[in-house]
Amino acid sequence: MDDTMARRACGAFQYYTCTRLPVRHAFTTKRGGVSTGACESMNLGFGRGDDPENVRRNYHILADALSIPYERITMTKQVHRDAVTVVTEETVGMGLTQPMAWESDALVTNLPNTPLAGFYADCVVTLLYDPVSHSCGVCHAGWRGTALGILPKTVDTMAAALGAQRDSLIAVIGPSIGVCCFETDADVPEAMEAQMGAQVQPFIREKGPKFHVDLQGINAMLLQSAGVRAENIVNSGLCTYCHSDEFWSHRVTKGERGVQAGIICLSSTEGEKRFK
């Protein structure tokens, strides 16, 4: 784990933060919610077969712990493509307090008190914050989204629509399946190389007939290509598969699981107080 990452707790609710992000944020674990069965206990997904009332209660626990407004939590709808959406006042609450009307794997905004949520259970969720423009984003990328370049597209959208500065932008790559555990057949690296070219080769390791793909590393490389400074990119280095005691891993659970969220929320004041 990167030494800027810290595990925190608020009662039974356990989550991770990064000291580099001076705004309210979290990468949740599966601990500290009210859901039961395969979704025990901090499931934040409405599509997991969980009782929706339990999911809403989990969001209240999360909102209280982070001091973020429940009614303004706004969600990605993850379809493994590369659409990035700018969240405006009309779309605040999408997925929680108003019906989901987009298919978007990444959200960005400069609205204060507007938590953005992206979901993971092996996939790579990255939180982004630019202190100059006071804008933020969340991006979900599995291998398909990674190959489509959704993370650099999220940076591009923050820059074009919100005035984010690439050389001040901070990005934190959250817990996700590590190169240690993301084993694939040849189809995945072949598809990624077809889409992205030779730049992905250093992030693919052959292991007998199988391959191990470093999605965290590829996304960090793509951030640098998009103009984000290396020192402003934090790779949490947390593997959801290795740490399946505290995270749901899609692969470990074979899909019988809840889902975690990466959440980020700007304050209403220009100068952020350091988030502790």
Judged by the rule CB under 5 A, the positions of this chain that interact with Zn ion are 178, 180-181, 239, 241-242
Question: Rounded to an integer, what distance in angstroms lies between the CA atom of residue 226 and that of residue 246?
Answer: 32
Give the nearest distance from C-beta 4 to Zn ion in angstroms: 20
Cβ closer to Zn ion: 161 or 242? 242
Give the nearest distance from C-beta 185 to Zn ion in angstroms: 18
Cβ closer to Zn ion: 10 or 242? 242
Residue nearest to Zn ion (CB): 239
Give the nearest distance from C-beta 240 to Zn ion in angstroms: 8
Cβ closer to Zn ion: 22 or 217? 217
Cβ closer to Zn ion: 177 or 228? 177
Helix (H, G, I), strand (E, B) or coil at 65: helix
Cβ closer to Zn ion: 179 or 191? 179
Cβ closer to Zn ion: 26 or 239? 239
Give the nearest distance from C-beta 126 to Zn ion in angstroms: 18
The β-bridge partners of 138 are 107, 127
Give the nearest distance from C-beta 246 to Zn ion in angstroms: 13
Amino acid at position 253, single letter: T
Give the nearest distance from C-beta 177 to Zn ion in angstroms: 7
Helix (H, G, I), strand (E, B) or coil at 207: strand
Give the nearest distance from C-beta 239 to Zn ion in angstroms: 3
Distance of CA 34 to the CA centre of its chain: 22
The β-bridge partners of 207 are 210
Question: Rounded to an integer, what distance in angstroms lies between the CA atom of residue 32 and that of residue 71?
Answer: 20
Cβ closer to Zn ion: 15 or 182? 182
